[in-house]
Structure 1
Amino acid sequence: MNTRSDVAGPVAESIGGKAITTVLPGDDRYQELTVGHNTRWVGTPDSVKVVHTAGQVVQAVQEAVNANKRIAVRGGGHCYADFVFNPAVQTVIDMTQLDEVSYDPFTKSFVVEAGSTLLHTYQALYKGWGVALPAGLCYSVGIGGHISGGGFGLLSRQYGVTVDHLYAVEVVTVDRHGRARCVMATREKRDPNRELWWAHTGGGGGNFGVVTRYFFRSPDATGSAPADQLMTPPKDVYLSAVALPWADFDQEKFTALVSHYGDWHERNSTVESRSHGLTSLLVMNTRADGVIGIITQLDASVPGAQQLIESYLGEITSAAGVTARPLTQSVGEQGPLPAFFTPRKLPWLTSVRMLGTNNPELTNPTLRSANKSAYHREGFTAAQAGALYKHLTRPDFTNTVANIMLFGYGSKVNTVPEEATACAQRTSIFKALYATQWSTPADDARNTAWLREVYGEVYSATGGYPVPNASTDGCYVNYPDLDITDPAQNTSGARWSTLYYKNHYPRLQQIKKAYDPRNVFRHSQSVELP
């Protein structure tokens, strides 16, 4: 226990046998609790309140509202932007200790507290009941923000996005009188709070209140046993990882690789395709890294699964006229995977643990990063592929970690009507993540400049951003991009709200008005009051 004075030390507030810990400036822990996973973002709040229960969240919110303190919420994982840690925030509510996973027989759903991380959630659900969520790849992503933004992962082409399995959400909101309360909202048609549930199926984090618990039950669930209420992941998966040496590429071969990735996904992103569950990441690091990587996963129970992977890889690589080799070095956020040059069968949870933790960059506690995203309905044009090639091979930018990753999407995701959830992008075939990471502030300018230049040129025909049209479908709200609100960077004519939410934004604004009329929960890209 810190023995400093009350000004510097923790303040305990007892609720139900547990305690809120309030960490103030001067406490030894303060510097650790006021910096983001992306260490570009450092806050100076008056206090950080570490909570353990929903009741404590209500109290922490009420105290901040009473004192007119600006609130931000830290979930279990990380945020690319400065939504939590910035100079305006005075009270940070830290949810990282609110991380239990359980089963609720009353709602026949699995309850995941908002501070839980993905790997903790996967292991608890699978070991306890043999069920899972089609959520993200990185082990340390926090459930709190991941779900509300419409999280996706390697199982999404087979099972949809996470919010397709969201039954209910528990949220601490603040009414027009300034009263904090805990609200339960379900997908039931007659639920008076159903709109609040809908807002959390892709409407983004930090917009409507503090999520304390998510309740998951698949929409087609039958029976009464817990294991029947949520999707069952594959018993085993085939995993493949190959490297394509940059030395084998010129612009023509690179364009062929990128084009055939898009062509394959255009043909195989419906549930009728035999390969509808095959998910493949094309990870294009800069030439300085030495290789381009392709990581592929498919449910091992699919007839001819191994052959489907090999056929896919053959189509992508032979079209470019390059020969795949074992992946003996890192690509993007993945470390070496040389043992998977030939597709290898693994138990599903083993594959999750391995891929989720095999990312040395994301375990770097000094990580600084910048990111941009795009949904694609069609593959890249030759001009766009040329822009990718130009910036990935620039001799003046040699960050080996910087990369552009294409992540297979569609299939089951696209069977859900656009209006059914706030996750509006339901016709895309892959997502693109443009990312660069580094460790020192001295490298901020050159990394952010490179990212702006490659992204701006790829989407130059539409004002530097992937506007919703026949080829692209906006941006992913869980990969927030601070440039999206800058008219000097975004000259597309499409507002950030359209790029993230498309035609759903006015509905989200009305929900904001109903549940956060005082705009207590806000950040630089939060849903605005109408």
Structure 2
Amino acid sequence: MVQSHREVPGLGINRRTLFWAAGVGAATAACSKPATQPPANPPTPTTTTSTAGPTATPPDWEGLRRKVAALSQPGAPDYDTARRSYNTFFDRKQPVAVATVQTPEQVQACVELARQSHLPIAARCGGHSYAGYSVPDSGLVVDLKGMNKVDLQGTTATIGAGARLFDVYTALAQAGRCIPAGSCPSVGIAGLTLGGGVGVLSRKYGLTCDKLTAIQVVTADGVLRDVSADADPDLFWALRGGGGGNFGIVTSFTFATDPAPDLVVFQLTFPAGAAPAVVGAWQNWVAQAPVDLWSNCIIAGGSPPHARVGGAFVGSQATLNQLLDTLVRAAGTRPTNRMVGQRRYLDAMRYFGGCTNRSCAPEAQPREAFVASSRILTKPISDPAGLTNLLQGRVDLDMLLDSLGGAVSAVKPADTAFPHRDALATAQIYQKATPDGQETAARAVAEVRDGVGKLGARGGYVNYIEAAMPDWGVLYYGANLSRLRAVAHQYDPDRVFTFAQSIHRA
């Protein structure tokens, strides 16, 4: 557990094409799963370990097989498919088993086996963990996709932890409701929510985790808990932004929903050479924007880097055009393409998901090889030319600046585990790579990440988790880290839920 424009009809759209063509940044980039180190330059591990309890017992696989919906192990015909995640870089990972579950009781059986056997365990929904933590080597994958029911009662939605975003949007939109979330269609609701949840309605309605009223979760002791502000309040606090995989396996979320609004989507594509001016203008523009406006600025690496601004507005086209005119004047350069269009809510989600002209079904989304990282812009970068120059000549590398503020900043940093409440924007650094180019891509991402840090950006977003992020515990969780450690120790003293960047290792 662990997201405006014109699409090209008939084009097989990969993730980078989606970012550029659809103006999708953090909203899509929340295509992910979260979760930490000792301070500074940790190794990049390929395995995770559980240290639960004093004595391990051999795992009873046949016993578990009788309790879960399905169990796939190496050698089984479906194993290679069952173990796959979104990022093809992680196809090399070899979990010892993949358990398909459909009920909380089946999840409890998996946790009990992992606890008794000291076996690494990870829940997987969308499989978008940027570091591959939802597929632990020599561990047990708990596949939640069968727990995907969306039940709307009045304005309250209870959503199974295996549901993926487009299925959630479709079910809620049928009743005219929505929750603020990401835009990548195949991202799991669980990983997105547990890390905070940034999306195209964040400034209007808040983070995904801000709409939670209750969570059902299996903790390390195998207990199924109904968690809320009144029941296990510390755990409820930690599960709202503390990262997926850290405190247990969530089986369902209960959200307060909002009316699904019509949206005006937009895209401004600027000419070559204009990126520094556009980035500088965009930063100040979004800082003053009304809460009804969400926007991102995408800088595409190249010679020179190019910039494009996209987003969505809850309001009229006329008002949005006035806001865009202000941005264009501040940038001092006219866009080569300007698109503004009204869309119904679900059509807008299709648009941001890059699937207006193709299937949005999660299983229809193409897989991809990539490396990514993040920074947090706490305020405008004073040297936008320096920022854009970091991408000079870097083909297939993008930086996606996604606006925060608005309803996100209405919540205090300590009120949930998500610490970046006062930030201007997230910055995702995303490098598409070839199957044999992971190391080269990782170096490029690290260079840009560190360069953004030297320009004044601080922190990182746990839903864009990166194994090589230095001092990651502090960067992801800030002042909330010590409380998160205490919650992890309280609910998982034997460290059942431990992996390379788990709270236990922060």
Q: TM-score, normalised by structure 2?
A: 0.81
State the 1:30 CA deviation. 1.1
Aligned to 1:282: 297
- Residue 211 of structure 1 aligns with an amino acid whose one-letter code is V
**Is the 8 Å Cα contact of residues 10 and 23 (structure 1) preserved in structure 2?**
no
Aligned to 1:187: 229
Aligned to 2:203: 157
Aligned to 2:258: 231
Which residue of the other structure, out of 465, 471, 477, is the alignment partner of 1:501?
Answer: 477
Aligned to 1:398: 395
1:299 aligns with 2:294: no
Larger gyration radius, structure 1 or structure 2:
1
Q: What is the rounded CA distance, in whole Å, between the counterparts of 2:116 and 2:432 in structure 1? A: 40
Q: What is the rounded CA distance, in whole Å, between the counterparts of 1:168 and 1:511 in structure 2? A: 17
Summarize deviations over 1:167-191 as a string: whole Å, max 9, x none.
Answer: 111111123xxxx121111123xx2
1:425 aligns with 2:425: no
1:64-83 correspondence to structure 2 within 5 Å: 64-83=114-133
Summarize deviations over 1:130-172 as a string: whole Å, max 9, x none.
Answer: 2211111211110111111110211110111111110111111
- Residue 515 of structure 1 aligns with an amino acid whose one-letter code is Y
Aligned to 1:101: 150
Aligned to 2:319: 308
Q: What is the rounded CA distance, in whole Å, between the counterparts of 1:26 and 1:324 in structure 2? A: 55
**Is the 8 Å Cα contact of residues 118 and 142 (structure 1) preserved in structure 2?**
yes
- Residue 70 of structure 1 aligns with an amino acid whose one-letter code is P
Q: What is the rounded CA distance, in whole Å, between the counterparts of 1:452 and 1:529 in structure 2? A: 22
1:253-264 correspondence to structure 2 within 5 Å: 253-264=274-285
Q: What is the rounded CA distance, in whole Å, between the counterparts of 2:186 and 2:308 in structure 1? A: 22
Task: Name which structure has the greater RCO, CA cutoff 8 Å, separation 6+.
Answer: 2
Q: What is the rounded CA distance, in whole Å, between the counterparts of 1:311 and 1:476 in structure 2? A: 32
SS at match of 1:525: coil
SS at match of 1:25: coil
User: Which blocks of at least 5 consecutive residues in structure 1 are unaligned?
Assistant: 1-8, 218-229, 269-274, 327-340, 468-473, 485-489
Aligned to 2:82: 33
Q: What is the rounded CA distance, in whole Å, between the counterparts of 1:502 and 1:374 in structure 2? A: 13
1:386 aligns with 2:385: yes
SS at match of 1:112: strand
Q: What is the rounded CA distance, in whole Å, between the counterparts of 1:431 and 1:483 in structure 2? A: 18
Q: What is the rounded CA distance, in whole Å, between the counterparts of 2:282 and 2:455 in structure 1? A: 21
- Residue 416 of structure 1 aligns with an amino acid whose one-letter code is V
Which residue of the other structure, out of 268, 284, 292, is the alignment partner of 1:242?
Answer: 268
**Is the 8 Å Cα contact of residues 261 and 379 (structure 1) preserved in structure 2?**
no
Aligned to 2:463: 478
68-77 or 166-175: bigger deviation:
68-77
Aligned to 1:265: 286
User: Which blocks of at least 5 consecutive residues in structure 2 are unaligned?
Assistant: 1-60
State the 1:390 CA deviation. 2.3
Aligned to 1:352: 349
Q: What is the rounded CA distance, in whole Å, between the counterparts of 1:501 and 1:440 in structure 2? A: 32
**Is the 8 Å Cα contact of residues 387 and 454 (structure 1) preserved in structure 2?**
no
1:448 aligns with 2:435: no
- Residue 479 of structure 1 aligns with an amino acid whose one-letter code is Y
Q: What is the rounded CA distance, in whole Å, between the counterparts of 2:107 and 2:300 in structure 1? A: 42
Summarize deviations over 1:443-485 as a string: whole Å, max 9, x none.
Answer: 22332222122221222266xxx33xxxxxx11111101121x
**Is the 8 Å Cα contact of residues 11 and 23 (structure 1) preserved in structure 2?**
no
- The aligned length equals 440
Q: 1:132 to 1:281 in 2, by over 3 A?
A: same
Q: What is the rounded CA distance, in whole Å, between the counterparts of 1:392 and 1:317 in structure 2? A: 23
Q: 1:519 to 1:11 in 2, by over 3 A?
A: closer
**Is the 8 Å Cα contact of residues 513 and 529 (structure 1) preserved in structure 2?**
no
1:82-231 correspondence to structure 2 within 5 Å: 82-87=132-137, 89-103=138-152, 109-127=156-174, 129-175=175-221, 180-188=222-230, 191=231, 193-217=232-256, 230-231=257-258
